[in-house]
Amino acid sequence: MAVKGLKTNDPHIQGLASIVGDSRSILYHKEDLLAYDCDGFTILKHLPKAVVFPKDTQEVAKLVKYCSQHQLPFLARGAGTGLSGGAIPINGEVIISLVRMKRLLSVDLENRRAVVEPGFVNLKLTNSISDKGYYYAPDPSSQYCCTIGGNVAENAGGAHCLKYGVTTNHILGLEVVLPNGEIIELGHNGILDTPGYDLLGLLTGSEGTLGIVTKITVRILKNPEAKQTVLAYFDRVSDGSQAVSDIISAGIVPAALEMMDKTAIEAVEAAAFPVGHPKDIAALLLIEVDGISAGIDEQIHQILEVCRNRNVREVRAARDELERAQWWANRKTGFGAMGAISPDYLVQDGVIPRSKLPEVLSKINKISGETGLRIANIFHAGDGNLHPLVLFDARKPGETEKALEAGSACLQACADAGGTITGEHGVGIEKREEMRFVFSETEIKAQTDIRQVFNPDNLLNAGKLFPSPALCVEIKTEMKAAASS
């Protein structure tokens, strides 16, 4: 079937266009494809073959079948905010963009769940149900634009994971198009424990390598009756870290427990929402508790006490909702704020046992000294999820490469401390070699064997998530070339 308005003789573009039935639902000119050559990991770029915009599950299944039949590599993409390169078409993939599948399909308050299409934006869900007193918990910093489909692929986290868990803890069901075009349903209406293997958990966080998610049932939560935030300034990072451990040991589970170090504070104070944090402190903590009103005051009292026992310079609760909101807006500018103090930055995403915070932060400081690159730290201290931000200038020869090495060294420090190499950003293309820091050959093989079950031709998002010696060298060369270009 010929598609009107199509200006190409490429039979595959014609074949794909005929599935979406419309020349405005496919991009194939180089100038259009340029916007899709990378995601939030901008160090490596590659053009896709085409970008198609299906409008429903059936179209996704047909596109997948077409690609499979013609052995065309393909991958799914949401908003493209991923930070590890999971949506970069390194094999010249056909990108199946899910941004037009963006409906909120249903909200069931009685059973506390909602069904969305994968292109539905994270924050819109909370905005759609907040007047009824409900919200969706996972809150990555990109929540105003990232999609829930992308959140599922990456098992996204956010500031409030400490109490509420990451995306996988809020996914109750998925409709998935398998790489052969078959459609399966995972999860049963939000039931906690379902029979058989936990494929729902397996797909969540599989970084788009096992299937394409086309419908998502999520858990929604009742708004807490009350919330309050405490801000604490410390002159020593070790005191701040110890306060983090003390708060948890006291039996308090804060909704969020964030830390920023001196360099990070310099950046956020130079960015869009300065709130007047002193620039000479070593670290600040932002501690939020929520729950029933009756319990909040006592918890705040305990938190203030813990901080005072750890030589806090200044500590207090937000005086009103406005101030609380300002503190959080300032925190959420985080990564982007780095632009105010450095031309480029590379954000890393390691996780460590909470008790190792002082030790690992001091190692990161050492890595900074050795490489001569500043490293800022803004992170989810409560769950030990570090985000070292390596500041560099890509225009200076060799500095991108040095930044990549510093980032990798930070992850090695996390792994050495009994931690791991990603808490919420995923492995993607960026951290594939670092997978070896935490997995044995047998453990990696168990995973690639599972990929093989779902994705036998390896057409779906190939070369991601797992080490692949040949490809790694090739990509590393490309990355180096990109770095020096």
Subset of 451-470 contacting its own copies (CB under 8 A): 451-454, 465-466
**Size of site (CB under 8 A) for its own copies:** 81
Residue by residue, what is the 3-state secondary structure of the chain? Answer: CCCCCCCCCCHHHHHHHHHHCCHHHEECCHHHHHHHCCCCCCCCCCCCCEEECCCCHHHHHHHHHHHHHCCCCEEEECCCCCCCCCCCCCCCCEEEECCCCCCEEEEECCCCEEEECCCCEHHHHHHHHHHHCEECCCCCCCCCCCEHHHHHHHCCCCCCHHHHCCHHHHEEEEEEECCCCCEEEECCCCCCCCCCCCHHHHHCCCCCCCCEEEEEEEECEECCCEEEEEEEEECCHHHHHHHHHHHHHCCCCCCEEEEEEHHHHHHHHHCCCCCCCCCCCCEEEEEEEEECHHHHHHHHHHHHHHHHHCCEEEEEECCCHHHHHHHHHHHHCHHHHHHHCCCEEEECCEECCHHHHHHHHHHHHHHHHHHCCCEEEEEEHHHCEECEEEEECCCCCCHHHHHHHHHHHHHHHHHHCCCECCCCCCCCCCCCCCHHHHCCHHHHHHHHHHHHHHCCCCCECCCCCCCCHHHHHHHHHHHHHHHHC
Distance (Å, whole) CA 319 – CA 195: 49
Out of 47, 282, 450, 482, name the contact with its own copies by CB under 8 A.
Answer: 450
Q: How far is the CB of 207 from its own copies (least distance, A)?
A: 9
- Identify residues 150-169 at the interface with its own copies (CB under 8 A): 155, 157, 161, 165-166, 168
- Identify residues 364-383 at the interface with its own copies (CB under 8 A): 383
Would you say 3 or 200 has its CB closer to its own copies?
200
Regarding 449 and contact with its own copies (CB under 8 A), the answer is yes
Out of 206, 371, 377, 461, name the contact with its own copies by CB under 8 A.
Answer: 206
Q: How far is the CB of 393 from its own copies (least distance, A)?
A: 29
Q: Which residues contact 150 (CB under 8 A, 6 or more apart)?
A: 77, 78, 79, 81, 82, 87, 118, 156
Q: How far is the CB of 62 from its own copies (least distance, A)?
A: 17
Q: How far is the CB of 421 from its own copies (least distance, A)?
A: 6
Out of 182, 314, 457, 474, name the contact with its own copies by CB under 8 A.
Answer: 182
Would you say 35 or 446 has its CB closer to its own copies?
446
Would you say 76 or 265 has its CB closer to its own copies?
76
- Identify residues 91-130 at the interface with its own copies (CB under 8 A): 109-112
Strand order in the sheet with 212-219: 104-108, 113-116, 212-219, 171-177, 183-186
Regarding 192 and contact with its own copies (CB under 8 A), the answer is yes
Distance (Å, whole) CA 45 – CA 55: 27
- Kindly report the length of the chain: 485
Q: How far is the CB of 481 from its own copies (least distance, A)?
A: 26
- Identify residues 279-338 at the interface with its own copies (CB under 8 A): 291-292, 294-295, 298-299
- Identify residues 381-420 at the interface with its own copies (CB under 8 A): 383-385, 418-420
Regarding 179 and contact with its own copies (CB under 8 A), the answer is no
Q: How far is the CB of 248 from its own copies (least distance, A)?
A: 8
Q: How far is the CB of 250 from its own copies (least distance, A)?
A: 9
Regarding 71 and contact with its own copies (CB under 8 A), the answer is no
Other C-beta atoms within 10 Å of 433: how many? 19
Residue type for position 425: H
x-marked contacts with its own copies along 20-59 as a string, rule CB under 8 A: ----------------------------------------
Regarding 197 and contact with its own copies (CB under 8 A), the answer is yes
Regarding 87 and contact with its own copies (CB under 8 A), the answer is no
Would you say 49 or 113 has its CB closer to its own copies?
113
Would you say 178 or 267 has its CB closer to its own copies?
178
Would you say 29 or 445 has its CB closer to its own copies?
445
Out of 106, 249, 362, 477, name the contact with its own copies by CB under 8 A.
Answer: 249
Regarding 228 and contact with its own copies (CB under 8 A), the answer is no
Q: How far is the CB of 394 from its own copies (least distance, A)?
A: 26
Would you say 16 or 178 has its CB closer to its own copies?
178
Q: Which stretch binds its own copies (CB under 8 A): 92-100, 242-250, 262-270, 471-479?
A: 242-250
Would you say 419 or 463 has its CB closer to its own copies?
419
Regarding 141 and contact with its own copies (CB under 8 A), the answer is no
Regarding 178 and contact with its own copies (CB under 8 A), the answer is yes
